[in-house]
Structure 1
Amino acid sequence: MQINIPEVVAEVTAAFQRYETALNTNDVKTLDELFWNSPQTLRYGIGEHLYGYQAIADFRKGRDPGSVVGRDLLKVWIVTYGRDFGTANCEFKRHGATKTGRQSHTWMRTPEGWRIVAAHVSLLGDATPMKPA
């Protein structure tokens, strides 16, 4: 299996950037489009666990638009595996927030294009204590 085929990395990066734009502008139609329309799709949010495409779409539809806050990306890490699978991870800071957030997406090529099959969003907490060296 080839890792990070340049044209596949470019495709996943473009899909990730499209998602990021839709997220920051609350473009629910595009956000829904970019998730795989399947009962196997998963999204763990900061305050919710969503199993299946319909639960994710219902969450977006029911969310107060005033709760959508823009964010700045601090780091993006995209890796592709072969031609049909990739991950996009990022660290971000929401405007007006103090905590750093983390987001993980698993992307899969489908007949409709690249789609998110699993997503996880969390906020960074306290570091795990380590043993002295």
Structure 2
Amino acid sequence: MILNDPIVLAEVTAAVDAYETALMDNDIEALDGAFWNSPHTVRLGVAENLYGFDEIAAFRIGRAGGSPPRTRLRTEITTFGSDFAIANVEFRRDGAGKIGRQSQTWIRTAEGWKVASAHVSLMQAGADQRLAPPSENR
């Protein structure tokens, strides 16, 4: 298996960047388009556990104002072969200073790269929130 093939890494990086843009723009169509349309897709958020594409899509429609604004601090992407990747993003919520983490499992489908699993969490107050040095991927 080839790790971080440059072509595959570039494809997934573009998908992660497009997702971030859609998230900050609250582009629901693009956000839904980034997720695998499957009952097996999972998104565990800060305050919600969503199982299946339909629950994820319903959550996005029902969330007033979209995601709170944030600034990405670090992005780590690892590709495994040509059809599987993981992305981890460290971010700071704008105005609040809270550090958050997002992990995504990306799979190549006939429709392109899609998120099959995602997890978002915020670090608790008082946790060691040291920032790691910038990633080689960014």
Residue 25 of structure 1: aligned partner: 25
- C-alpha separation in 2, matches of 1:53 and 1:68: 18
Which residue type is aligned with residue 117 of structure 1?
A
- C-alpha separation in 2, matches of 1:44 and 1:3: 26
Partner SS, residue 55 of structure 1: helix
Rg comparison, structure with higher value: 1
Q: Which runs of 5+ in 2 are unaligned?
A: 129-138
Deviations 1:4-24 (A, max 9, x none): 000000000000000000000
User: Larger deviation: 103-112 or 119-128?
Assistant: 119-128
How many residues were matched structurally?
Answer: 127
Deviations 1:80-110 (A, max 9, x none): 0000000110100111112100000000000
Q: Which runs of 5+ in 1 are unaligned?
A: 129-133
Residue 131 of structure 1: aligned partner: none
TM-score by length of 2: 0.89
* Percent of residue pairs bearing the same amino acid type: 54
Partner SS, residue 4 of structure 1: coil
TM-score by length of 1: 0.92
User: Larger deviation: 102-111 or 119-128?
Assistant: 119-128
Within 5 A, what are the aligned runs for 1:1-133?
1-65=1-65, 68-125=67-124, 126-127=126-127
